[in-house]
Amino acid sequence: MKKELIELHVNGRSRELAFEPSKLLLDVLRQDIDLTGSKRGCDDSSCGACTVLVDGIPMMACTLLAASCEGQEITTVEGVSEHGSLAAIQKAYGDWGGAQCGYCTPGFIMTVKHLLSENPEPTEQDIRGALSGNLCRCTGYSQMYHAIKAAIDAEQKGMAANSSLVIPSEARNL
């Protein structure tokens, strides 16, 4: 199939890329832009490991054509950090053990990022509802809920994320 030149806006940067119009956003992010945070877990949008924000809305990159995102702002987990430090939700996941193997964590973080942008004070029911499209095969979810509540508290108190938590490179490139 013939490649087309398409401009994507990813994490605040414009990128002009040549790829087949049928290529999925997840593959463009991972293979062409080398943003490996979003993961392929199911290929049918049932697990949420590939969640990114497209114009602020959570979307499953494993079933979304990259070409359909032209002109829209795509935010991946790599674009969530705040001024070079971890965002409150990223720090809280580390502090509270919200991630075990880490494979699903980027999708959860993107979903929570959207939830908090829409509802800065979600109830537990709101949190559970927002996360219902994301699956974790390792945890019982309680650590994730604690992490989310800690992130909400940190954001409400205006606490800046602490960059002391370092994510090992092998965890980022799963």
Residue numbers of the domain that contains 113: 88-163
* Among 23, 51, 79, residue at a domain's last position: 79
Give residues with Cβ within 8 angstroms of 128, minimum separation 6: 145
Based on the fold, state whether residues 156 and 101 are members of the same structural domain.
Answer: yes
pLDDT tens digits for 138-165?
877 888 888 888 988 888 787 544 434 4
Q: Give pLDDT < 50 ranges for the chain.
A: 160-174
Q: Considering the entire predicted model, what is its pTM?
A: 0.85
What pLDDT score does 153 carry? 86
Q: Are residues 64 and 33 in the same domain?
A: yes
